[in-house]
């Protein structure tokens, strides 16, 4: 490869990448901060045992360096042996693929583990050569797919403006649906209720009153969060998963690492 072109390599874990280097392309100056793209969050998912080969997440992060060795672009990427923890339900595709005689897994996934939040996926800082590095990252991901012989490459929850370049590269666009509540300038809960029908206002008031019976609410942030709080939080987290017939993804250590790094 021409030394003047982006140099593509792979890292099997975030721990092998400098936090400063990763964050410089994941959350560069001039772009909105995304905590889920930070080294601190992604590496915690791996270090805590939540996203590891044992749980079906084998790291294959794409890195693009310039000729001086500086990291200029990255893609958080894993080989997946299942479709859990993605919040994109492609199991029917997997079943159809396997019924036709193919192997759907492993597949290659560029995403944030366990987090259905739209965001950047081809991580490059703004600059005159940004598109060069974005193209190099995408070609690197496609080349990894070809060499590994996987069924498919998935890039989940992309920003709308990223779609045309992915389509030009031959990827198919999959449209999903999410429901988001937005505050349209409401000054109070009553203002929100005023936009609803009388029946819905009545039901919501009753449900809200019942939910608050005998409870007090205390908000804690930063250093006020303790491991004792997280013990209780984790118990609720595991109970919620059990009630929904699911398998919770995060480990107890996941929460401790996030508290330590991102409180």
Q: What is the pLDDT of residue 1?
A: 45
Put residue 154 in one of left, alpha, beta given phi > 0 → left and psi -120 to 50 → alpha.
Answer: beta
Q: Are strands 153-155 and 107-110 parallel, antiparallel or unpaired?
A: parallel
Cα 35 to Cα 161: distance, rounded to the nearest angstrom: 20
Per-residue pLDDT of the chain (263 residues; tens, 9 = 90+): 454 789 999 999 999 999 999 999 999 999 999 999 999 999 999 999 999 999 999 999 999 999 999 999 999 999 999 999 999 989 999 999 999 999 999 999 999 999 999 999 999 999 999 999 999 999 999 999 999 999 999 999 999 999 999 999 999 999 888 899 999 999 999 999 999 999 999 999 999 999 889 888 899 999 999 999 999 999 999 999 888 777 899 999 999 999 999 98
Q: What is the pLDDT of residue 176?
A: 85
Q: Which domains does the chain have, with CATH numbers?
A: 7-168 (3.40.630.30), 189-262 (no CATH)
What's the length of the chain? 263
Positive or negative: CA dihedral 44, 34, 121, 89: positive
Q: What is the tally of helices (H) and strands (E) in the chain?
A: 9, 8
Cα 189 to Cα 256: distance, rounded to the nearest angstrom: 33
Cα 249 to Cα 113: distance, rounded to the nearest angstrom: 9
**At 80, phi and psi to the nearest 5?**
-115, 135
H or E element: which one contains 63?
A: strand 61-65
In 3D, which of 67, 198, 44, 75 has the Cα closest to residue 129?
Answer: 67
Cα 6 to Cα 162: distance, rounded to the nearest angstrom: 20
Question: What tokens were used for 121?
Answer: 């996926």
CA of 5: how far to CAs of 115, 124, 137, 144, 198, in Å? 33, 15, 12, 18, 63
Q: What's the farthest any 2 CA atoms get from each other in the chain? A: 68
Half-sphere exposure of 64 (CA within 13 A, CB side): 27
The model carries a pTM of 0.91
């Amino acid at each position: 490869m021409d030394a003047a072109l982006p140099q593509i390599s792979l890292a099997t874990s975030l721990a092998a990448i400098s936090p400063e280097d990763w964050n410089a392309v994941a959350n560069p100056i001039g772009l909105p901060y995304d905590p889920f793209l930070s080294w601190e969050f992604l590496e915690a998912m791996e270090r805590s045992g939540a996203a590891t080969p044992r749980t079906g997440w084998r790291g294959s992060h794409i890195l693009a360096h310039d000729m001086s060795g500086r990291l200029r672009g990255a893609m958080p990427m894993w080989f997946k042996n299942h479709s859990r923890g993605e919040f994109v339900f492609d199991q029917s595709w997997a079943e159809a693929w396997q019924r036709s005689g193919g192997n759907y897994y492993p597949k290659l996934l560029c995403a944030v583990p366990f987090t259905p939040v739209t965001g950047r996926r081809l991580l490059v800082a703004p600059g005159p050569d940004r598109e060069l590095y974005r193209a190099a990252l995408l070609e690197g991901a496609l080349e990894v797919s070809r060499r590994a012989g996987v069924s498919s490459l998935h890039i989940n929850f992309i920003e709308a403006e990223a779609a045309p370049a992915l389509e030009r590269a031959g990827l198919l666009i999959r449209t999903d649906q999410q429901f988001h509540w937005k505050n349209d300038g409401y000054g109070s809960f009553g203002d929100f209720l005023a936009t609803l029908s009388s029946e819905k206002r009545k039901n919501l008031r009753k449900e809200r009153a019942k939910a608050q019976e005998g409870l007090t609410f205390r908000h804690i942030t930063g250093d006020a969060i303790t491991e004792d709080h997280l013990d209780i939080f984790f118990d609720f987290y595991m109970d919620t998963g059990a009630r929904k017939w699911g398998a919770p993804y995060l480990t107890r250590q996941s929460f401790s690492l996030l508290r330590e790094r991102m409180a």
